[in-house]
Amino acid sequence: MIKVKLVSYTSDGERVVAIASKMSRSRKGWEYHEKEMSQEEIETWISEAYRHGYLSPFEHSVYTFSIEGISRVASHQIVRHRIASYTQMSHRFARPQDSYYSPIVPPSSVKQGEIVNEAYTRAYQYYLDLLNKGIPEEDARYVLPNGVNTNLVVTMNARELLNFFALRLCSRAQWEIRYVAWKMWGEVRKVHPRLFRNAGPQCILYENFVRQKPITVEDKGESFVSERCIEGVPREGIWKCIENGQRIVEVLESGSQLALHEGRVED
């Protein structure tokens, strides 16, 4: 099972972001604002910075996640987000052997489990055979499948997380990275609800740049101002699309044998 955990973060990140935002418009320094800023002001300066798209202050709050049990397919997608720091398990120094070889089976392939498992078993045997013949680990790993399991540590600032969520919470995102993104979203919302109140898939992000009052993923009664989302989903179908995207968490954590295809969960 994929595990996503927030292991470290800027504990006073909301205050830091608010002070940074205010300092850009004030002649007074950090010590003054740190002493004088109230909780109400923190709320105001975070909200105003977000509403005006002034997101550089968000870069001062940083979050580190442990992500375990994902495939190399998913990890390759995650590291495309360049404004971040990564440390990944090395299959050169940490051989994926015995119980540590547990490649990921896509939910859409559950009904074809025999074929997938056979492919994984053969690849594993080839890998062991190469090692036994003296091929070095860094070369033997070439035959491992893209689905081989891996772990990584990821550090992103709040601004990059807003961008990451916009792209990867979307129902059009691949199922595995979408699950990771929704879990990361849940983790940061627990510790910094004011910073990530309006975080969501890109339909939410871009909607909030054109409306007077921002909306959240929970505001399902609200009508969208935009005629369609950036992926082309019409206004009346956006909330359903968001629900389909978020449902990946329920699907994987329930162990239900459901198939996923292009963002839709099907029996």
One domain for residues 136 and 199:
no
One domain for residues 156 and 249:
yes
One domain for residues 227 and 104:
no
d(CA 125, CA 62): 42
d(CA 50, CA 73): 32
One domain for residues 11 and 108:
no
One domain for residues 104 and 140:
yes
Please give the pLDDT value at position 261: 42
| Last residue within a domain, chosen from 109, 125, 147 | 147
Domain count, the chain: 2
Q: How long, in residues, is the chain? A: 267
Per annotation, catalytic residue among 168, 194, 197, 247: 168
Assigned domain for 87 exists: no
Assigned domain for 77 exists: no
Mean per-residue pLDDT pooled into runs of 10, the chain (267 residues): 96 97 93 93 95 94 98 97 96 91 90 90 97 96 97 98 98 97 98 97 93 92 92 95 96 68 39
CA nearest neighbour of 25 among 1, 62, 52: 52
Assigned domain for 81 exists: no
One domain for residues 174 and 161:
yes
CA nearest neighbour of 15 among 65, 60, 63: 60
C-alpha angle with apex 68: 156 to 73, nearest 5 degrees?
A: 80
CA nearest neighbour of 146 among 201, 221, 91: 91
3-state secondary structure 83-95: CCEEEECCCCCCC
| Last residue within a domain, chosen from 89, 117, 147 | 147
CA nearest neighbour of 265 among 251, 253, 174, 182: 251
One domain for residues 157 and 141:
no
Assigned domain for 260 exists: yes
Please give the pLDDT value at position 225: 94
| Last residue within a domain, chosen from 130, 147, 164 | 147
d(CA 180, CA 184): 6
Assigned domain for 124 exists: yes
Please give the pLDDT value at position 113: 80
Assigned domain for 10 exists: yes
Please give the pLDDT value at position 221: 83
- What is the CATH number for 234? 3.30.1360
Full domain range(s) for residue 128: 98-147
d(CA 134, CA 256): 42
Q: Which two tokens stand for residue 148?
A: 């081989």
pLDDT 10s digits, 175-231: 999 999 999 999 999 999 999 999 999 999 999 988 888 999 999 989 999 999 999
CB 74 within 8 A of CB 177: yes
Q: Is 168 a catalytic residue?
A: yes
One domain for residues 55 and 103:
no
Helix or strand holding residue 63 (H, E)? strand 62-71
Contacts of 144 (CB under 8 A, 6+ apart): 72, 91, 96, 123, 124, 127
Question: Looking at the DSSP assignment, which residues form a beta bridge with residue 62?
Answer: 157
d(CA 157, CA 9): 9
Place of tokens 């082309």: 232
Question: Looking at the DSSP assignment, which residues form a beta bridge with residue 88?
Answer: 152
DSSP-assigned states of every residue in 80-148: T--SSEEEE--TTTS---GGG------GGGGGGHHHHHHHHHHHHHHHHHHHHTT--HHHHGGGS-TT-
Please give the pLDDT value at position 96: 93
0.75 exceeded by pTM: yes
One domain for residues 56 and 103:
no
Please give the pLDDT value at position 256: 63
